[in-house]
Structures are given as structure tokens and as C-alpha cells.
């Protein structure tokens, strides 16, 4: 998680366009209590945090506060939704688990293939077969003396019908 919960809470309020006064009056909170939340001297209850996030139009609370799904020791931490999915998976029979595994594998392959395709750098010109190498128009005739000048002259003399 982000190191500074209070700073994140304050940034969310500012981004949403609210002053401290507007928020603490809206929720009937003492100014000193609200200020303590944004300075790190105290933290709002879970219920109040949800209300603030709703007001600030924060839909992914975990991400907003820097949670990436892993604990400090790098072990994975499942979300409520993921925990629910694991529980459902465990109740499936062999056929159901095979279906889920197949679907998960195919979707994972599709998603990682898309990611890999975007991440592959462009090949160096020399690594490509000759017919696939990019060429600028002026390079096609560079080895033929006078051909480029002839093309320029032809373009200059081109008559466009009215």
C-alpha cells in the first residue's frame, strides 16, 4: 500500500473538487476530526472511508490507495471476488473444473499473446526478408543513375485535367 494514506485521502478530495469545509459539513464531522484524517493523526472508519470514496467518485478503492494484490512479503492477497471464485471452484466436480481450467487457459493465452504482440520491438531492417523491408520511394531507384531526376521531371510536367 502507499505509505501515506492521509495524503492520498487529501489528493482524492482535491481531485474531486471539494474543500475540507464542504466535506466535513456534509457529513456533520468536526473540523478537527476531518483534518486529522488528512494529516495522518487519525483515520476514518471503514464506513466513513467508503462514504468519502463514493463522494470523491473513487470506484477502485484498493488501487486508489496503492494496493496491488500482494502483501509486503510478496505473497498474493486475494480480493473478496477472487476468494469467492476460489470457493466456487472448489465446489465444482471434475468436469466443471476441467471447463474452468480450459477457459482460463485459453483466455490467459489470448491476453498474454496480445501483450506480447504489443511488446515485441520492430525488427531491424536487415533481419527482415528483402520483400518485407521498408523502402522510401526515393530509394527504389537510387542505384539507377538519372532515374530519380526523370521521375521528378515527369511529375513537374504532369498535366491535371480541368
Highest mean pLDDT: which of 59-68, 110-119, 137-146? 59-68
Domain at 53, CATH number: 1.10.260.40
CA atoms within 13 A on the CB side of 116: 6
Taking residues 25-33, report their average pLDDT: 95
Domain-embedded: residue 162: no
Domain-embedded: residue 130: no
Q: Quote the number of domains for the chain.
A: 2
The whole domain housing 32 covers 5-64
**Is 80 exceeded by the pLDDT of residue 55?**
yes
Domain-embedded: residue 124: no
37 CB-near residues (< 8 Å, 6+ apart)? 6, 9, 43, 44
Asked if 21 and 57 sit in the same domain, the reply is: yes
Picking from 11, 66, 73, the residue whose alpha carbon sits closest to that of residue 38 is 11
Domain-embedded: residue 137: no
pLDDT at residue 92, rounded to an integer: 94
The predicted-structure confidence for 38-53, as pLDDT tens digits, reads as follows 999 999 999 999 999 9
Asked if 57 and 104 sit in the same domain, the reply is: no
Amino acid at each position: 500500500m502507499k505509505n501515506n494514506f492521509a495524503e492520498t485521502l487529501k489528493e482524492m478530495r482535491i481531485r474531486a473538487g471539494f474543500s475540507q469545509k464542504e466535506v466535513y459539513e456534509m457529513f456533520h464531522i468536526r473540523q478537527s476530526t476531518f483534518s486529522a484524517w488528512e494529516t495522518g493523526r487519525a483515520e476514518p472508519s471503514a464506513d466513513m472511508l467508503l462514504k468519502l470514496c463514493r463522494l470523491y467518485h473513487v470506484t477502485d478503492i484498493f488501487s486508489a490507495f496503492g494496493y496491488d494484490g500482494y502483501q509486503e512479503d510478496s505473497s498474493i492477497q486475494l480480493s473478496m471476488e477472487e476468494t469467492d471464485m476460489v470457493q466456487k471452484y472448489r465446489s465444482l466436480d471434475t468436469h466443471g473444473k476441467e471447463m474452468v481450467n480450459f477457459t482460463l487457459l485459453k483466455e490467459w493465452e489470448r491476453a498474454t499473446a496480445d501483450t506480447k504482440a504489443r511488446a515485441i520491438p520492430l525488427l531491424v531492417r536487415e533481419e527482415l526478408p528483402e520483400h518485407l523491408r521498408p523502402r522510401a520511394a526515393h530509394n527504389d531507384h537510387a542505384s539507377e543513375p538519372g532515374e530519380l531526376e526523370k521521375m521528378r521531371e515527369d511529375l513537374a510536367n504532369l498535366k491535371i485535367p480541368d
